[in-house]
Amino acid sequence: MSGILDTVNLRTQMVGQNRLELLLFSLETDQVYGINVFKVREVLQCPELTEVPRQTTSVKGLAHIRGETIPVLDLSEAVGRMPIPKEDHRQCFLIVAEYNTRTLAFLVRKVDRILNTQWDQIMAPPAEIGVENYLTAVFEFEDKLIEILDVEQILADIYPMHTKVSEALATPEMKVKAKAHHVLCVDDSSVARKQMQRSLEDLGVKVTTCNNGKVAWDMLNNLAEKGNDVTELFLMMISDIEMPEMDGYTLAAMIREDPRMHTMHIVLHSSLSGGFNVSMVKKVGADGFLAKFNADDLASVVIERIKKVEQRS
């Protein structure tokens, strides 16, 4: 498992091609789950954990890895299933990952393989199952259904996010200006969409949300076909990167290639962190990158765009 990320540099070539690689793993049942390899720092055998006093959540302790102290989350317990028994921890694995500028380790029973696929093979879960679950996408492989968990929702339940924009940014004057603008937010995570919508509506901006890149593209394309100037309708688009059916990189690249909407202001918003995103944002022609999730950072990006638009008018 030590070499599981050795070829990560080659994976940057998939950007804009709607491709991804999933690290497959299992918890306390035979169900197989997937996590995007780009979010994974490393995979290792679970070491001895340092217990946290009075810890009542699914955080099982702290792992000391390469000079860094990292909280360990029992992913099975976090999604409402039986926790992995303490005596079994040393036979399990840690998936060390970065989400929303936070480094965590997910305790899982088994790690299987890395699977190369395409985002258009990853489907949103059926609407009939409702929204009160931790499932963000599904993928059929070898006659089995692989589930992709909404890790952002799981973490939001453990570490609630603050969505209120500070009064220093959401001034009465800015709220008046913001009411004239409309922002398109695209994200497959229901919690991420709610976070963005609450923060931007707190600022005063009108918000439209889409749950993946394909839905957003179809909407923009339909508006353009009816003669609408989408660059006038929307102040900007803020899009997640990882999404089923069409990822944010591909969505941005397609918008840039379409003469009806190629000047649309695009910011990619992701829990994927690191300098990798900076270069990839440029590659697909987006205007900026914003790490998830900070209400004031999100509001600042929108306020900056409002000011630039008003300066030109």
Q: Quick one: which of 142, 234, 232 has its CA closest to 185?
A: 234
Helix (H, G, I), strand (E, B) or coil at 155: helix
* Phi, psi at 103, each rounded to 5°: -95, 125
Q: What pLDDT, in 10s, does the model give residues 193-236?
A: 999 999 999 999 999 999 999 999 999 999 999 999 999 999 99
Q: What pLDDT, in 10s, does the model give residues 232-268?
A: 999 999 999 888 888 898 999 999 999 999 999 999 9
pLDDT at 2: 43
pLDDT tier at 131 (50, 70, 90 boundaries)? low
Mean pLDDT score of the chain: 86
Helix (H, G, I), strand (E, B) or coil at 229: coil
29/313: higher pLDDT: 29
- Residue 19 CA to residue 121 CA, distance in Å, equals 9
pTM, 2 dp: 0.77
Q: Are 146 and 32 in contact (CB under 8 A)?
A: yes
pLDDT tier at 130 (50, 70, 90 boundaries)? low
pLDDT at 52: 84
- Residue 131 CA to residue 95 CA, distance in Å, equals 26
pLDDT at 273: 56
Q: Are 153 and 190 in contact (CB under 8 A)?
A: yes
Q: Which DSSP string corresponds to 211-242?
A: SSHHHHHHHHHHHHHTT--HHHH-SEEEE-S-
101/195: higher pLDDT: 195
- Residue 284 CA to residue 241 CA, distance in Å, equals 11
Q: What pLDDT, in 10s, does the model give residues 15-59?
A: 445 677 889 999 988 899 998 887 788 999 999 999 888 777 789
Q: What pLDDT, in 10s, does the model give residues 60-100?
A: 999 999 889 999 999 999 988 889 999 999 999 999 988 77
pLDDT at 3: 46
Q: Are 74 and 40 in contact (CB under 8 A)?
A: no
**For the chain, what is the radius of gyration of the CA atoms?**
20
According to DSSP, residue 7 is labeled: T
